[in-house]
Amino acid sequence: MRYDFDQLLERRNTNCSKHDNNTVLFGSDDVLSMWVADMDFPVPEPVVDAIKKRAEHPVYGYTFPQASLYEAIVNRVDRLYGWKIKPEWILFNAGVVNGLYSAVEAFTHIGDELIIQPPVYYPFYSAIKNTGRQVVYNPLKEVNGRWEMDFEGLEKLFEVRTSFPARTPRIKALILCSPHNPVGRVWTKEELQRLAEICLKHDCLIFSDEIHCELLAPGVEHTATAGLSPEVQANTITFMSASKTFNLAGLATSYVIIPDAKLRRRYMEARAGRNSGNVFGYVATEAALTQCDDYLEQLRDYLYGNFKFFTEFINTRLPQLRVAKSEGTYLAWVDMRALGMDTLELQRFLREKARLALDDGYAFGPGGEGFQRFNLACPRSIVKEALERLEKAIKEL
Ligand SMILES: Cc1ncc(COP(=O)(O)O)c(C=O)c1O
């Protein structure tokens, strides 16, 4: 079927985090919301049908995932990434962030260190800090407008910690964002291989957050980190969900793939008693993974069109700004440092003058200052309106 992503969908008054919180979060209701990462598009029809069908049975009691959902995940991961997994490796969580907290608690101790590569999705910091662990930064490098991982920097982090006076390595895991929110990189197989080898060498687990893995620009391929080799597979915990691709975040259902039996057991013990997915999340996820390829294909085309429009507008009409080339995700990462504003000035300018609700770059950690993240998963007319607001505000500076 054809989906109409140009359609303006009224989301206000649905307790929608993105549009119903503007006054509280951005100081005014008169802002265009392009921040939190969900989409202003309807979900695919088979997902709605699956939820309706399940809703017809009037008991929504404790529920476990259906066998066909495990099968759907096994088949999809093989079909899209050539990674062969087993149903028993899959566990469900009430969202990827929820699952990351469990992983931090399962595989590290209070005081241990975990590496993240900023600028990066900000709940990675809280998952480490709020559980009493320490954040260690291996910042990305911007090389000719493209963001790259700093492998030498990563090696040095381990080296410093194994020499006098620290001696005892306390780095236990690296949280990888693949594809990377907010810079839009889809890491190549070679990059992931190099990262995985360094981590293996230093006994450092990889928590690979692959929630954006299906949102790819034309010609770009995602590599599942754990699919690289049996050794990497045994050292990697993979987080996935249908929620970004098919707009299901409110269903709070995601899955984690843990091939190593001992690690899986530890994970299960650590998160015991915590919620898993839910009755509607399970059926919705299965429908999304098995019946919605047409939606995904059209969505990718549309998002690519939005990126093209966004980038061309900025390059031609706002040349003082720079957009990172997007390989994946629906998030555009824009360098606004040339406006010469500090963090607070930029925040006020965007909210009060441009009337835009965006994600401030500084929140993504070191290297994010002076940048802004735009969520382009909305009708093109909204992208245009946002850019025109921004252009007008910049002209009036
Ligand atoms: C990299 C990344 N991980 C996790 C999440 C959130 O996942 P969940 O809602 O399943 O916790 C997001 C949402 O933006 C994200 O960008």
Q: Read off the pLDDT of residues 121-142 as tens digits, 9 standing for 90 and up.
A: 999 999 999 999 999 999 999 9
- 3-state SS class at 334: strand
Q: Is 211 in the pocket of ligand 1 (CB under 6 A)?
A: yes
Provide the pLDDT confidence category of residue 160 given band limits of 50, 70 and 90: confident
Q: Is 96 in the pocket of ligand 1 (CB under 6 A)?
A: yes
- The average pLDDT across 107-123 equals 97
Mean pLDDT taken over the chain: 96
Q: Is 243 in the pocket of ligand 1 (CB under 6 A)?
A: yes
Domains of the chain: 22-44+293-395 (3.90.1150.10), 59-291 (3.40.640.10)
- The average pLDDT across 389-395 equals 98
Give me the pLDDT at residue 162, please.
Answer: 80
Q: Which tokens sit at 289?
A: 């993974």
345-353: list long-range contacts, CB under 8 Å, 24+ apart.
346/370, 346/372, 349/393, 349/397, 350/390, 350/393, 351/26, 351/27, 351/28, 351/31, 352/27, 352/28, 353/393, 353/396
For ligand 1, atom 7: residue with the closest CA: 96
How many whole angstroms from 136 Cα to the centroid of ligand 1?
20
Terminal C-alpha separation, the chain: 46
Give residues with Cβ within 8 angstroms of 23, minimum separation 6.
29
How many whole angstroms from 248 Cα to the centroid of ligand 1?
11
Give the ligand 1 atom nearest the CA of 254.
Answer: 10
Res 313 pLDDT > 80: yes
Give me the pLDDT at residue 145, please.
Answer: 84
Q: Is 251 in the pocket of ligand 1 (CB under 6 A)?
A: no
pTM, to two decimals: 0.97
- 3-state SS class at 77: helix
Q: Whole-angstrom Cα distance, residue 52 to residue 37?
A: 25
- Give the phi and the psi of residue 145 in degrees, each rounded to 5: 80, 0
304 to each of 117, 159, 261, 339, how far by Cα in Å?
26, 41, 40, 27
Give residues with Cβ within 8 angstroms of 176, minimum separation 6.
117, 195, 206, 207, 208, 209, 225
Give residues with Cβ within 8 angstroms of 260, minimum separation 6.
233, 234, 235
How many whole angstroms from 349 Cα to the centroid of ligand 1?
27
For ligand 1, atom 14: residue with the closest CA: 37
Provide the pLDDT confidence category of residue 268 given band limits of 50, 70 and 90: very high
Q: Is 302 in the pocket of ligand 1 (CB under 6 A)?
A: no
Tell which one of 91, 96, 212, 240 to mutate to probe ligand 1, the residue whose CB is within 8 A of the most ligand atoms.
96
Q: Is 177 in the pocket of ligand 1 (CB under 6 A)?
A: yes
At how many degrees (to 10) do helices 279-291 and 67-81 cross?
Answer: 40
Q: Whole-angstrom Cα distance, residue 364 to residue 167?
A: 30
CB atoms closer than 10 angstroms to residue 298: 17
- 3-state SS class at 33: strand
Give the ligand 1 atom nearest the CA of 99.
Answer: 11
Tell which one of 121, 122, 248, 274 to mutate to probe ligand 1, the residue whose CB is within 8 A of the most ligand atoms.
121
- The average pLDDT across 70-87 equals 98
Q: Is 95 in the pocket of ligand 1 (CB under 6 A)?
A: yes
How many whole angstroms from 242 Cα to the centroid of ligand 1?
11
187, 149 Cβ separation under 8 angstroms: yes
Across-strand partners of 16? none
Give me the pLDDT at residue 201, please.
Answer: 96
Q: Which tokens sit at 352?
A: 């009060």
Tell which one of 244, 248, 285, 331 to mutate to probe ligand 1, the residue whose CB is within 8 A of the most ligand atoms.
244
Across-strand partners of 372? 334, 360
Q: Whole-angstrom Cα distance, residue 351 to residue 245?
A: 28
Segment 230-244, tens digit of pLDDT? 999 999 999 999 999
Give the ligand 1 atom nearest the CA of 37.
Answer: 14
298 to each of 191, 215, 217, 245, how far by Cα in Å?
29, 11, 12, 12
Q: Which tokens sit at 293?
A: 């390829």
Q: Whole-angstrom Cα distance, residue 336 to residue 342?
A: 10
Q: What is the identity of the amino acid at 140?
A: L
- The average pLDDT across 73-80 equals 98
How many whole angstroms from 37 Cα to the centroid of ligand 1?
8
Res 198 pLDDT > 80: yes
Q: Is 233 in the pocket of ligand 1 (CB under 6 A)?
A: no
- The average pLDDT across 17-38 equals 95
Tell which one of 39, 175, 181, 187 to mutate to probe ligand 1, the residue whose CB is within 8 A of the most ligand atoms.
181
How many whole angstroms from 124 Cα to the centroid of ligand 1?
10
